[in-house]
């Protein structure tokens, strides 16, 4: 639910609203043994509707919507612990249940509003929970030094048939002039090669999804070529890690390096839950 819609439904500006962390099936009891709790941070509760349950907490509406919220969300010291808390709750939940994770800051004006949403999407949520039962998401990133001289030379030779016949001086000037173009071509080719290579990890992965939005890494030494999400059975995590290590050794001679993260709740494999026309 958007902030505008939440504020409209909330009765007062200082009202507490429902903060959704995840959906789980109703057959599990969550203990939150590893979650730090206290008066300021009570454990989440379960709100049951039909055959699913929502993992929720209550938060002040003004913290997430309105002028004060805009300042909060731009303040790392305010945002980081709350986003970290959201992630910690998801990690704890996935230890004891299959979860349908919600993005940070998913708000509902009331329990009635949340209940209506759950009733509308129960079939999709339950189907997802059944599909990903005993499975986890892993991430793989593929990076390369796109400005490496040898890589640019090889890309130039592929791009221009007369490259070998040019003098060293002409090649140098052309590399300087057309560096952005060559880097773009190399990135595109590497991304396709990486997609084919990471696809070979299924099995043990049961699904592989290429993620959008690959950008250069922050330190400037490498460029992110492509990112992938893999869904794999919990029991096959070690096998997947070994296969990814072998894949990294295969890609290294091609100038690519891979890194693997996880396990995570299956964020990248959730279905889109669009509200009906007459509901937020």
How far apart CA 107 and CA 119 sit, in angstroms, is 17
Q: What is the DSSP string of 3-55?
A: HHHHHHHSSSTT-EEEEEEEEEETT-----TTS---SSSPPPEEEEETTEEEE
Instruction: Evaluate the omega torsion of the peptide bond into residue 98 and state whether it is cis, within 30 degrees of 0.
Output: no
How far apart CA 179 and CA 141 sit, in angstroms, is 24
For the chain, which residues score pLDDT lower than 50?
2, 4, 6-8, 216-220, 276-280
Strand order in the sheet with 256-264: 207-211, 223-233, 135-144, 256-264
Q: Is 60 helix (H, G, I), strand (E, B) or coil?
A: strand
How far apart CA 32 and CA 38 sit, in angstroms, is 12
pTM given for the model: 0.75
pLDDT of residue 232: 94
pLDDT of residue 205: 92
pLDDT of residue 275: 54
Fold topology of 136-267: Alpha-Beta Plaits (3.30.70)
N- to C-terminal Cα separation, the chain:
6
Conformational region of residue 66, where left means phi above 0, alpha means psi within -120 to 50, and beta covers everything else: left
Q: Is 239 helix (H, G, I), strand (E, B) or coil?
A: helix
pLDDT of residue 96: 86
How far apart CA 55 and CA 245 sit, in angstroms, is 36
- Cβ neighbour number for residue 202 with a 10 Å cutoff: 15
CA-nearest of 152, 180, 169 to 160 is 152
**Boundaries of every domain in the chain:** 3-133, 136-267
HEC sequence for 124-178? HHHHHHHHCCCEEEEEEEEEECCCCHHHHHHHHHHHCCCHHHCCHHHHHHHHHHC
pLDDT of residue 273: 83
Q: Is 229 helix (H, G, I), strand (E, B) or coil?
A: strand
pLDDT of residue 276: 43
DSSP label at residue 216: B
How far apart CA 169 and CA 175 sit, in angstroms, is 10
């Amino acid at each position: 639910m958007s902030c505008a819609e939440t504020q409209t439904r909330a009765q007062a500006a200082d009202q507490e609203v429902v903060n959704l962390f995840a959906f789980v099936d109703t057959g599990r009891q969550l203990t939150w043994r590893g979650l730090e709790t206290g008066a300021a941070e009570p454990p989440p509760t379960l709100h049951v509707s039909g055959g699913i349950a929502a993992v929720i907490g209550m938060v002040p509406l003004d913290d997430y919507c309105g002028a004060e919220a805009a300042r909060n969300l731009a303040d790392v010291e305010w945002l980081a612990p709350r986003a970290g808390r959201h992630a910690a709750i998801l990690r704890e939940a996935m230890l004891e249940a299959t979860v349908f994770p919600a993005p940070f800051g998913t708000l509902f004006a009331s329990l009635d509003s949340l209940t209506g949403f759950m009733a509308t999407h129960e079939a999709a949520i339950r189907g997802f929970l059944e599909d990903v039962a005993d499975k986890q998401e892993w991430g793989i990133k593929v990076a390369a030094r796109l400005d490496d001289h040898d890589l640019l030379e090889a890309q130039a030779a592929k791009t221009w048939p007369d490259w070998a016949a040019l003098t060293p001086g002409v090649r140098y000037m052309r590399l300087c002039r057309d560096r952005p173009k060559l880097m773009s071509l190399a990135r595109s080719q590497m991304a396709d090669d990486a997609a084919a290579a990471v696809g070979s990890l299924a099995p043990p992965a049961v699904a592989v999804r290429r993620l959008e939005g690959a950008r250069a890494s922050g330190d400037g030494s490498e460029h992110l070529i492509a990112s992938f999400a893999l869904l794999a059975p919990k029991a096959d995590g070690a096998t997947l890690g070994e296969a990814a290590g072998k894949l990294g050794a295969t890609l290294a001679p091609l100038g690519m390096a891979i890194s693997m993260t996880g396990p995570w709740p299956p964020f990248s494999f959730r279905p889109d839950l669009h509200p009906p026309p007459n509901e937020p």
